[in-house]
């Protein structure tokens, strides 16, 4: 079981992103993993060996789960740091110009109508 744990820990620390870590987790802790196969074989062992072997398998399983959790935390932190560096704002740069809004459509129509009446009144003189 020690070789199994060492192999699993190497692959866990070699995972460079969360997807790779998840595939390693499934490989070592999933339903079709070698660990689950060992647990299924417990029934074939002698009763005095079952408890010892079962405890050893469960210990390895817990240790692998802890490694996965630590590595996931590490990868998430590095991903967050990378994102924060990319999204940083340089406050020494000049500000962005603000765009001025446009007039309300009703105000535009009202102004047009006023111009029409003003121009119509000038023609009478």
Would you say residue 106 lies in a domain? no
pLDDT digits (tens, 9 = 90+) for 12-51: 999 999 999 999 999 888 888 888 888 888 888 888 888 8
Would you say residue 93 lies in a domain? no
Those residues whose C-beta lies under 8 Å from the C-beta of residue 72, and which sit 6 or more positions away, are 18, 21
Would you say residue 119 lies in a domain? no
Count: domains in the chain:
1
Q: Average of pLDDT values for 75-92?
A: 85
Rounded to an integer, what distance in angstroms lies between the CA atom of residue 68 and that of residue 21?
A: 7
Would you say residue 78 lies in a domain? yes
Would you say residue 113 lies in a domain? no
Top pLDDT among 25 and 123 is at 25
Rounded to an integer, what distance in angstroms lies between the CA atom of residue 59 and that of residue 81?
A: 33
Could you tell me the pTM of the whole model?
0.64
Q: Residue 64: which of 15, 101, 115, 107 has the closest Cα?
A: 15
Q: How far is CA 96 from CA 87, 91, 92, 93, 100, in A?
A: 16, 11, 12, 9, 13
Range of the domain at 56: 2-85
Would you say residue 67 lies in a domain? yes
**Average model confidence (pLDDT) across the chain:** 86
Would you say residue 120 lies in a domain? no
Would you say residue 7 lies in a domain? yes
């Amino acid at each position: 079981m020690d070789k199994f744990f060492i192999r699993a820990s190497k692959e866990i620390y070699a995972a460079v992103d969360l997807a790779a870590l998840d595939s390693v987790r499934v490989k070592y802790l999933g339903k079709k993993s070698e660990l689950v196969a060992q647990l299924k074989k417990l029934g074939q062992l002698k009763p005095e060996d079952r408890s010892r072997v079962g405890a050893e398998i469960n210990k390895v399983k817990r240790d692998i789960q802890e490694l996965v959790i630590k590595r996931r935390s590490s990868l998430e932190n590095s991903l967050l740091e990378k994102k924060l560096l990319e999204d940083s704002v340089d406050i020494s740069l000049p500000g962005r110009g603000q765009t001025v809004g446009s007039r309300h459509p009703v105000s535009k129509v009202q102004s047009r109508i006023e111009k029409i009446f003003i121009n119509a009144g000038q023609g009478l003189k």
